[in-house]
Structure 1
């Protein structure tokens, strides 16, 4: 894959570009991610904030408190409802893109799992990944593993 990475919502009203290499990709099994994805987990592709550009449309925002008590802004398409990315007030230099919204997802290889204690019993957690029972204190190990993986 070559930059920029492109993506958007299901109905095509919102389009975006990622203009720098992602920092990491992980899977989260917390109950909030299960709800927002309507699935067993959510995925987050962490990218530098200034490398993410909306090229078409204007997403809407819904703000919630995470289990940690920190604020998370959830951006989505107001027409089709597709969740596009999350901004965390405690990490202003990065955002988490919902990677299923990328035009090409074939290159995605998660390097870690968060909140494994909430994982559905049928989900297989690889011991080749960085796995955390809850929220990790330091995400830099995930960034290092992403680089080592060559993603």
Structure 2
């Protein structure tokens, strides 16, 4: 099963080759709100080797709570494409909105809900944490 995507200008493309649909989660933290310019960020957690990138990316590294997150964006239009974090070695966190067919993805978890916008109602029965869950709890929710 393959998924493709691109930045806004089309200079950088992504190809994800995975056996199953990667799990999607919504992050409501202030960083995701600011970076997305929206109420939350939608992320697909993928194996790093499953994500192929074509085109030149710019990077930005951020230290937060003892972890390092490296953001990858198009070097031309600056669309944020994915990040790698020391909190999830060997993984790439792909921004779901850059993928073709993103409407087929439904979040299986919501994190940092204590920062969610008050007008947003989250669905019952979907895993939710007020902050970051433990790696074990998050892995269980993502299946």
TM-score, normalised relative to structure 1: 0.88
Match of 1:25?
Answer: 24
Choose from 102, 115, 118 the match for 2:115.
118
* 2:58 matches 1:60: yes
* Cα displacement (A) at 1:43: 1.0
CA distance in 2, matches of 1:26, 1:48: 15
CA distance in 1, matches of 2:62, 2:106: 28
CA distance in 1, matches of 2:56, 2:86: 20
Q: 1:6-25 alignment to 2 at 5 Å?
A: 6-20=4-18, 21-25=20-24
Match of 2:34?
Answer: 35
CA contact (8 A) 1:24 1:142 kept: no
Unaligned runs of 5+ in 2: none
CA contact (8 A) 1:22 1:46 kept: no
CA displacement 1:57-112 (0-9 Å, x = unmatched): 1111101123x231000000121110000101232221110000002112111011
Match of 1:92?
Answer: 89
Aligned residues: 140
* Cα displacement (A) at 1:50: 0.7
Match of 1:108?
Answer: 105
Q: Which has the higher strand share?
A: 2
* Cα displacement (A) at 1:22: 4.4
Q: What's the secondary structure of 1:87's corresponding residue?
A: strand
CA contact (8 A) 2:16 2:52 kept: yes
Unaligned runs of 5+ in 1: 145-151
- List structure 1 segments (4+ residues) > 2 angstroms apart after TM superposition: none
CA distance in 2, matches of 1:86, 1:6: 17
Match of 1:148?
Answer: none
CA distance in 1, matches of 2:25, 2:116: 14
CA distance in 2, matches of 1:40, 1:69: 25
